[in-house]
Structure 1
Amino acid sequence: MKMQPEFEGQGEHGPLDSCDERILSVINELHHRYDPMPEDLNERVQFVLELEAELDARVASVSRSGELVLMRGDAELAVGQGDPASITFDCEAVTVMVTPRPSALRELRLDGWIGPEGTYEVELRSPEGAKRASTDDTGRFVLEGLPGDQMFQLVIRPDEALQREGLPAVVVTPAVRL
């Protein structure tokens, strides 16, 4: 296949021309149509910046569950409809499992368990503000009256005894949407 005369000699490192601009325009249009910027992007960025400014923390990762719905390349996780889905977060020394359940009209209850067993302070941060709970000796906690369809992040602080055993002072989870 012979190149058109206007494109001969340009090679892959040549300057952009009208054909390149049309291709980039189509790609831009596809991104805006099929993968638009989230409406709450500014809230998310501010949320993360505030957390980083306050904490020198270990960040737990999400253990995948078949009941989670992944959106925007893992940047946002949403709990599937139907039966409650559990989300598990892991870091080197702490595992956190939470199960959201409907508790009232448009509100959720979050049942959680932290391992290893012990006493922890749990803070749930969202754009609506923060809610706090303490675990019992087995690591179980409950947070109620949570708004549905909100991003949230957990901040977990083990008690001093657990920290002496080698647990980090603070563990944070990635932000997920219930």
Structure 2
Amino acid sequence: MAHIPVPPGAPGIIGPMMAYPETAKPLNELAELLLSRETPNFSKAERETVANYVSFLNQCVFCSESHAGVADYHWQKSGISKQVWESPEQAPISDRLRALLKIAATVQKSARSVSQEDIAAAKKLGSTDRDIHDTVLIAAAFCMYNRYVDGLGTFAPPRGDAAYAEMGKILATKGYVKAIEN
């Protein structure tokens, strides 16, 4: 049971967003901006992988699982995200994304610890300044989203629940703003 009243049965961030729509709107707009667009070098699948990896590192079940569902939908292959959680070094992703995930993990632990070497490594593998900017912002934002979800003690279906793949498909196809409006 959540620490504050939220609509019954509304898991994770959905409950507080339904209870407090005035804060839901800008939070969803930020998620939409960060995750539902692609730049020439940074795909939706990669962006969602950064989000769910940071959420996994933060032990936020709802966010890691739901965003893994979105990422896997965009990857067009189930299980990529969970392979990243187990071992980014062994997961079937690019070295460039591995370098960005290293930056994201550093932001998750101690943002001031991101080094020039981390940035140079990502750039050497083809990351642009925009990719690095967006990675840091996604990681920082997801630390906030994770703390919002877990700090309110919201309900989350167990890891691996089929509901996460369905949530992922809805978010991947409708985006964050429209998925919540419906």
Verify same fold: TM over 0.5. no
- Structure having greater relative contact order (Cα 8 Å, sep ≥ 6): 2
- Report which of the two has the higher share of strand: 1
TM-score (norm 1): 0.31
